């Protein structure tokens, strides 16, 4: 990467473009030449592809994962005064969409694997609770069986935040196929990525599907009829064409990321580091590879000094952000999420890494802890 201090970058979108360029440019040229920029054949193809991938009846292409969450919650009946149970350690969008709908986020602490703890959900349910929104962090699907049992017992909707988990599975079921609605992002940093923002939702509910198709386009039924006040949440045809092309590579991308993760799991000395290993019922696509260590900041500095870029997902839990002070949460309310925020470090796991890069990262980490 030009002008980068890192020999091993955390992500390498430039390398991906060089791999795709010769085949993608004619596709982009064809779309631009067709004059179909908003809607079109590539959108229809993308929605069919995503429904098949996620093993659901319907998929709706949207302009972001955030809008997928917004529509997913709204079409699940969430509105002013309602409560939605969700973890406090996700990206801010997971909570922001709840607030924008006039509802209240009710946080539940997490497990060592960073996903919501199903054992703590029922205690958070009140007469105002209307939905559970599990977040499949790092490419690992939450423990959905107990979550669905709780939801069914209390008559709650389940909206899966699967932004980081396209292609991931739980007991053989794809992410986005287990709850009432699945919400995905195709942001450039995701495993299936556009060259800009994008997202989609999945469902087996025909009414949710039809309403989402309408709401993403101003609530327009046809050129002359508006049936509800909607949004501008459409995916454009150009991004859909890029995603359709990259979908053919997704399987190989996931395989490569899983192989990189396996090398970390085998090579990193676990004496001073914790990372949750994959269970037999999981299929993790490793959107990120996150380790936990008490010496996180010093290790991050050491890796930087050795030309290795890392990230932190996320350094401040949502309940400790200024934006949510009015809800009255305090430090100490969710001790596991808070402790993890001080210890988590995301290592490069992208598919452009070479074996020598992974070996360099492993040896640099092991050397740090041996001193």
Per-residue pLDDT at 2 exceeds 70: no
At 3-15, the pLDDT tens digits run 556 799 999 999 9
| Domains of the chain, earliest start first | 13-244 (3.40.640.10), 250-370 (3.90.1150.10)
Per-residue pLDDT at 1 exceeds 50: no
The reported pLDDT for the residue numbered 277 is 87
Q: Is 182 within 8 Å of 54 (Cβ atoms)?
A: yes
Per-residue pLDDT at 117 exceeds 50: yes
At 187-234, the pLDDT tens digits run 999 999 999 999 999 999 999 999 999 999 999 988 899 999 999 999
DSSP annotation string for 95-143: HHHHHHTT-EEEE--B-TTSSB-GGGTGGG--TTEEEE--B-GGG----
Q: Is 192 within 8 Å of 186 (Cβ atoms)?
A: yes
Axis crossing angle, helix 237-267 with helix 41-54, rounded to the nearest 10: 30
């Amino acid at each position: 990467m030009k002008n980068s201090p890192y020999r091993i970058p955390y992500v390498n979108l430039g390398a991906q473009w060089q791999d795709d360029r010769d085949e993608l440019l004619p596709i982009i040229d064809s779309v631009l030449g067709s004059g179909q920029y908003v809607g079109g054949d590539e959108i229809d193809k993308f929605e069919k592809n995503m429904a098949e991938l996620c093993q659901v009846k319907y998929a709706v292409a949207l302009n972001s994962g955030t809008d997928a969450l917004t529509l997913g919650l709204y079409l699940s009946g969430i509105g002013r005064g309602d409560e939605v149970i969700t973890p406090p350690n996700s990206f801010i969008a997971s909570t922001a969409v709840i607030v924008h709908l006039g509802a209240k986020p009710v946080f539940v602490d997490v497990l060592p694997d960073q996903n919501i703890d199903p054992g703590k959900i029922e205690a958070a349910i009140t007469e105002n609770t209307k939905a559970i929104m599990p977040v499949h962090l790092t490419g690992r699907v939450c423990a959905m069986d107990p979550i669905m049992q709780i939801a069914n017992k209390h008559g709650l909707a389940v909206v899966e935040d699967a932004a980081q988990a396209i292609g991931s599975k739980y007991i053989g079921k794809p992410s986005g196929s287990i709850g009432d609605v699945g919400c995905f992002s195709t942001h450039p940093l995701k495993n299936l990525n556009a060259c800009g923002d994008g997202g989609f939702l999945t469902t087996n509910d025909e009414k949710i599907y039809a309403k989402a198709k309408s709401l993403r386009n101003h609530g327009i039924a046809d050129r002359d009829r508006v049936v509800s006040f909607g949004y501008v949440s459409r995916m454009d045809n150009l991004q859909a064409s890029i995603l359709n092309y990259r979908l053919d590579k997704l399987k190989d991308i996931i395989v490569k990321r899983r192989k990189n993760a396996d090398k970390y799991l085998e090579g990193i000395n676990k004496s001073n580091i914790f990372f949750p290993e994959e269970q037999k019922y999981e299929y993790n696509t490793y959107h990120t590879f996150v380790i936990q260590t008490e010496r996180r900041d010093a290790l991050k500095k050491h890796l930087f000094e050795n030309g290795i870029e890392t990230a932190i997902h996320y350094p401040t839990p949502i309940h400790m952000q200024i934006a949510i002070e009015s809800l009255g949460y305090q430090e100490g309310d969710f001790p596991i999420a808070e402790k993890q925020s001080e210890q988590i470090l995301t290592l490069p796991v992208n598919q452009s890494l070479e074996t020598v890069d992974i070996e360099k990262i492993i040896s640099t980490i092991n050397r740090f802890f041996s001193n």
